[in-house]
Structure 1
Amino acid sequence: MARPQLAPWVHTGFLLCLLGLGGAIEIPMDLSQPPTITKQSVKDHIVDPRDNILIECEAKGNPAPTFHWTRNSRFFNVAKDPRVSMRRKSGTLVIDFRSGGRPEEYEGEYQCFARNRFGTALSNRIRLQVSKSPLWPKENLDPVVVQEGAPLTLQCNPPPGLPSPVIFWMSSSMEPITQDKRVSQGHNGDLYFSNVMAQDMQTDYSCNARFHFTHTIQQKNPFTLKVLTNHPYNDSSLRNHPDMYSVRGVAERTPSFMYPQGTASSQMVLRGMDLLLECIASGVPTPDIAWYKKGGDLPSDKAKFENFNKALRITNISEEDSGEYFCLASNKMGSIRHTISVRVKAAPYWLDEPQNLILAPGEDGRLVCRANGNPKPTVQWMVNGEPLQSAPPNPNREVAGDTIIFRDTQVSSRAVYQCNTSNEHGYLLANAFVSVLDVPPRMLSPWNQLIRVILYNRTRLDCPFFGSPIPTLRWFKNGQGSNLDGGNYHVYENGSLEIKMIRKEDQGIYTCVATNILGKAENQVRLEVKDPTRIYRMPEDQVTKRGTTVQLECRVKHDPSLKLTVSWLKDDEPLYIGNRMKKEDDSLTIFGVAERDQGSYTCIASTELDQDLAKAHLTVLGRPDRPRDLELTDLAERSVRLTWIPGDDNNSPITDYVVQFEEDQFQPGVWHDHSKFPGSVNSAVLQLSPYVNYQFRVIAVNEVGSSHPSLPSERYRTSGAPPESNPSDVKGEGTRKNNMEITWTPMNATSAFGPNLRYIVKWRRRETRETWNNATVWGSRYVVGQTPVYVPYEIRVQAENDFGKGPEPDTVIGYSGEDYPRAAPTDVKIRVLNSTAISLQWNRVYPDTVQGQLREYRAYYWRESSLLKNLWVSQKRQQASFPGDRLRGVVSRLFPYSNYKLEMVVVNGRGDGPRSETKEFTTPEGVPSAPRRFRVRQPNLEIINLEWDHPEHPNGILIGYSLRYVAFNGTKVGKQIVENFSPNQTKFTVQRADPVSRYRFTLSARTQVGSGEAVTEESPAPPNEAYTNNQAAIATQGWFIGLMCAIALLVLILLIVCFIKRSRGGKYPVREKKDVPLGPEDPKEEDGSFDYSDEDNKPLQGSQTSLDGTIKQQESDDSLVDYGEGGEGQFNEDGSFIGQYTVKKDKEETEGNESSEATSPVNAIYSLA
């Protein structure tokens, strides 16, 4: 964040600062005055020959001046040349070539004269030249033959042009010649080679000259370069060698200067111009150039180095920059220096330029013409264009060198004087008139102008006036008080009033009064003081990642009477507000920041009087740009050096480089990571594998992310060799009971080391004296047939290519195929732990009966029946696994109050063995789940009705329900009341103690084991009295009673119809009943149960027709630790039920149970499923 420095004051107003404090006096144009030159062409006027020639000369005066010209100091008759004309009311010459003619015929020195009856003013001597772009002379250039390492200069010698052309060198493919500290172009246009290298002969070299005015380019015939060398230029291992000169056999040499020659030279430069010093040296290695000034330091504010330090430029040269400069050229073989003596000369420049002199009759005055230069310029005075010596004598005028003194001036003294000061480097010409007038004071600006200024600024009020003699000017405020001068006010000689620091009390009306002997004149202005515009919350520098949103704040305070405008600049250019940006009065928001958004943002808050601005820099962090120019050097059999040029890090330093490779034999087009290097390096030695055709690329990484991969390098193939490793992950496993499949992970391209990679597979039975069997395989598997069941084998897999075999492989033990186990676990014992879990114990089988690797013991169990009558259950088998050679385990998540059967088997890799003897066990009762659909209704302020349904999982025979409830009002809680109900009851009504309190009810079901999970509900907040009265009123309305009677009648009719249909249809068959899908209020299908009873066998009031028989799964750790049986009970998927229970009901059993259901209240209420 930064606030740039503002000017001391920025405002508009009453002709503020119209005249400089020492500026020339201007005569109003309605008064008589001598001519004044206002516009003219430059002294050296170069024109395009294809255009008309324009030589400008404009002047003012009263009466209006007339014009004439001289050419080469002789009168130029414009009227006699049909191509030349002079613009109306102007002295500007126009030379027209549309009808023919040669512009060169009009070259010369022109001067304009502007004349009226009070004098003559002169323009500068204008030298007219026509631009030239000559062709290069035809020449035949022989090939340039040079020894590698020698210096070389290719001379350009461009044709002389006006102005001088711009020189540049191009290759035969029209590409600019790449320049560096070894090869560069001198200021004279020649191309210098400090030492020639073999790669320099890859192209021809042509010098080109571009001419500014004609926009043409002339080309010299190209040079053909032949380099004598001991090595071919395309040998990359030598071209990029760190000591390439010695490797190439190039002798190292101490530096010597190619330009300028010798050890010393001199140079002259004119004051105000740029000084360019140049030193170009040859040598091997290429020398470095450094610059110094003898007896002092280089002017750091004006000096800069160019052309790879071979040139020193000092801008705006002055006399103190003269002296001795020297350049030092050095390499490891030595150093030399060249001294340049710089002399600064100067064309004339003004110290005191003559100004117009306005006098009243009888006044005295003087014209001063002072200039300096090197050498010292001479001064020549003229009057009305004639030498002063030739003018008529004037007793009132005295010439004293560079000053003309006028005494007791009269009207006859009016004239225009010229001062010409010159030396060998140039001249200066100035016009100054002497005007003698009698004019009373007059004001030159409108009356009562409004000036608005900013508080605390320094302000100057001007009161433009004229008079002769020159009037005196005084200022007054609000029409009263003394003359304003001193303190916070200061009056300049030209009459301007400066207020050093504006305050609120300075607001008012200011009057200026001009007085001379001929009279007086006055004017007034109104001054208003405004509050300054200030940015009080400036935008702050921010660093952000690409794609984020950034907000730059810019909150402003300003004078409310002024209109505020807030604008933004980016990098000092107006900011285009696109659809990714949002500009508000106090902020700028950039959405989805991109790299192009990085830069300096300036908030400008401006009114018509002032402005304030603040800057902030936005830095965008992005992924690095891709590395480029990959190059392979130091090529060896097992290594290579990879070098690259880093891309832009996009403001986040590069932390790593990832080098990847691709080979074109095994996986062409697939890139693999090779190695990773720190972000500080750009060159690395890569270790390579034999017989791989490598291609490399590099990815740069920073905190933001990874760059795009670089373009691939050139390919490099390493020579072949026998494998140095063997395949990994060698295994031997049977896929059938009489085979063994040998597999391994094949070797990749970097491990093959040669062509035709193959594998030698060997095997034999373990612990035997058998000879090794072997086979040669090109893939990654081999199957051995006719093997005994599950016997161990020794296995070896060795890699081989056309260059030889790999190292001796390691021996791996594998096994032939398995067969099903032949025995089952014996002495299976079951102990019931609780209503949902049992523990198992068994004897292990003999190892020779396993016929493979023992994977696990497995228990198959199924729910045979429920102890609750009429509950049909799924008999689908479930399983529990006990991995390894274990002798005990736990089966959990069983249904309580059920009969189960269980069998055990041994499992190996082939499958299950025979089943053990079937065991039976019974789970005891458990606690029930929570009652379902517990509802609390409050019909009025006196009672609360409770209703519920039976538990989804009774887990035994229900013996009743327990209800606990308590009244509460805010933080006040009443005494808890406990109610117990029979299993038949599913409704209860509570009499409210008061109409304000609310109630909390907790309900649970009970078996012989205990109370099960409870469900809690609260009564709703009591309705207000209006609501209760409204309800009572509705119940007593006649229309409501009639509606209820109609509904009752309709229900009675439906019941009669149903009774008649049932009498005709009889009982529904059970099979049809099963096919009816369960409704949303029925128990879940996956609980595996279904209840059926017909209309003749209804349960008691309050019961439900069917209850879900699925037992809620109890949480269990499946461990005997919880039951005191040790810690071996953990197993995967122990006791998990697989599948869903299905409805299985026999028609005969259903009909046989019809009579008992009517006499058993429990069965009538709980036809459990």
Structure 2
Amino acid sequence: MGEYEPKIEVNFPDNVPSSKGSTVTLECFALGNPVPEITWRRANGVPFPSKVKMKYSNAVLEIPSFQQDDTGGYECVAENKMGRNTATGRLVWRLPQWIQTMKDTAMAIEERLHWECRANGKPKPSYAWLKNGQIHVEDGVLTVSPLTLSDAGMYQCVAENKHGIIYFAAELMVLASPPDFTGNVLRALLKAKAGTTVMLDCKPQAYPTASILWKKGNLPIHTNDRIALSPDGTLRLANVSKSDAGSYTCFARNRFGMSSTTGRLLVTDPTRIIQGPVDLEIIVGESIVLPCQVASDPVLDVSFSWAFNGQLITKGDGHFELVGGVTSIHRTAGDLMIRNIQLYHAGKYICVVDTDVESLSAVAVLIVKGPPSPPESVTVEEVTDSTAQLAWSPGRDNGSPITSYIIQTKTPFTVGWQRVNTVPEVIDGNIHTATVVDLNAWVEYEFRVLARNGVGVGEPSPVSVKTRTEDSVPIAAASARMSPVPEELQNGESFGYIIAFRAFGEVSWTHVATSAPGASRYVYRNDSLAPFSPFHVKVGTYNSKGQGPFSPVVTIYSAETEPSGMPAGVWARSVAASEIEVNWQALTITPERVLGYEVVYWEDDTKPETMGKVRGPWNQTSVTVNNLAGNTQYFLTVSAFNTAGTGPFLPAINVTTKKPPPAQPPLNVEWTLIGSQLSLYWEPVVAMESESEVTGYQVSFSALDDNLTLPENEDDYIIRIQTLSEGGLGPASDPIRIHRLSMFCFFFVHILLS
């Protein structure tokens, strides 16, 4: 396509209405070859203000915040070397815009109405007023004075220029009524503190405004330097006293009528805080009462509230409780109890006293002292095989200077934390480093620090990192009985034992090493040794750093053999239904050592669960076997024993236990007490065929508390009765309780049957 002059394809209308404050955009797009250059100008030749922007290669003209000065003709010019072309249009102001209007109004009859409306526009608009649709006044200001009831109605302000006409409407209501105190009556009872200023309002609703007259009782009130009446009818009484108390009436009158309202003024004595809280120092965990007591006029209602550091104290905190009440006709208390005080309870406490006429307050500062806060940043700076150098930062002293520090340790071998020795022995509160001494070598330690002040010992610091002491040769000696050395005393790696022993009478020692740290036993075997041969033995320790000390020398013996002989004879007899007495003759000569004798008994070979054993020392030749079954045959045998075991047993003998005592206790026990003589009666017990015959009865007396010493005369006593037989004592009768049994101590009475 060849070259051609510009052709405007998109332009703007001849008239572009625009509103104040809006952004106006004019577009001018042109075709041509070469590409045409677009420029803009105003028809009146006035340059564009700085706010005007050109966009898209000048194809768009943008005018922000459109104002009346921006109206007029605009021209777009498209030009290239082949020619030029133009497009024109006009920006016009829209209808007038309101800048001042009126609103619905209610006014009293006889008042003055002043309404004004204003609009902007170009050309400047003209104004007119309409009332109920009829032209009223030809101006932008409407004034009516005095108002009458006929002036009420709907008014419109009209603004008009060549671009059009706009309206704004508001209603005028004209009010006429007598004074009315509904909603604004005087308080029936007004309390005021002596010396204060009292304002009594008199604000009736009245159209037109009412004239005001005040009376105290039946007498008009005259103003002076202390009593004043404001234009709105408020009565001001300055520096009131008891003489100002009484009944006050406000009278309001206009041409439509009159009304009044009455209230009573009560002048009270000032309230005084007679005992308020005082600054205190307190210890954590204690409880206190902060007093707040007032003297007040008895006609006043008094309430108390407390604030802590600016926050109102509520009942939700279990530490605080408001206590008190009316203590007398003129005194009231609102004390604050604080239980189990903590550090965070330190601060400012304010007691606020509110009455009907005033508010008072009293302030106290509470300082809470407690044990120190935990020290911080515990570090281990240097370690040896028995010491550790520690450093830490102090925590808060919580109101009492730190006097000293305590260091505790814990290892895998201790239960809980333990206090340790330090250098210095007593760590002063101004010192924040110390050396822990008397530690075990090659043990992993944790450390913590506690601070002490005049209140007590605080919580421990965070635990230090685990630190292992250096290794060293063992210090602890092993036991010749081969009790393992605890791991915390092994002092290093590769721990083991050295066992040294020699036969009795020899000079040189035999040494054997074992590398098992937990070893507790070593066996030396030599078949040529005689039984029970004596040896000297000592046990030492070693680790990777060297050899430790030996234990003291002890004498031990090689194993012995069991006795080869047996007792010379054995015999037995039943002494009760559950007991057998066994006797034997001791061994006289035997090469082996005899530690004692063992009696084995059983019912028969088919009942192995009935087998039992009783042992006695070497110098004893009889035992009593207990807890046996009554009327039962038992087999018994005896042998000697030592650490190697038991020797040969004698041939078994047998013995039968006696029949058991009657299972039936004495029944129907009766008693009589005459003076100091007690008589007892009961039914005789008849033994069954499988039971031992009754040979008598045993009567037992005891004090109620089982005390067998001489009882007091006023004690209660328990009496029980049992049967006697060769099988033993039978079951007791039901206990008999006897009160005030005089001159008796604990004793038994045997009653034999013929």
| TM-score bracket relative to the smaller structure | 0.3 to 0.5
Q: Which has the larger radius of gyration?
A: 2
Higher helix share: 1
Give me the TM-score of the superposition, normalised by structure 1. Answer: 0.31
